[in-house]
Amino acid sequence: MNIYVGNLSYSTNDDQLRSYFEEYGVVDSARVIMDRDSGRSKGFGFVEMSNANEANAAIEALNGREVEGRSLTVNEARPREDRGPRRGGGGGGGFDRGPRRPRY
């Protein structure tokens, strides 16, 4: 089962996240999501547990628990939505001034 863990402290790493869940069963993987640009935690992560009973026990025990001064949000992860292709680039600005006129 894939488990969403939200409201993590920004200092939480993968190993710490794993340790929160190992108390309830075997953890297949634990991953804190990092911001691509800054390299900082985004404050949420995902834990994978193959035993559904252990996963449900962890969700029940950890949802709402205060860890490092923050109340965790823990629930079964929803499947990722297909957001389609990303539109790239900036540019423009949306205002077209038309052709340039010479200055006299």
Q: What is the mean pLDDT of each run of 10 residues along the chain (104 residues)?
A: 97 97 97 96 97 98 96 93 68 60 70
Provide the residue ranges of all domains of the chain, joining segments of one domain with +: 2-76
Q: What is the pLDDT of residues 84-95, one digit of tens each?
A: 776 665 555 555
pLDDT at 12: 96
Quote the Cα angle for 22-28-33, to 5°.
Answer: 90
Do the beta carbons of residue 49 and residue 55 sit within 8 Å? yes
The answer, as to whether pTM is greater than 0.75, is yes
Fold of 2-76: Alpha-Beta Plaits (3.30.70)
> What is the CB neighbour count within 10 angstroms for residue 42?
14
CA 99/CA 42 separation, integer angstroms: 44
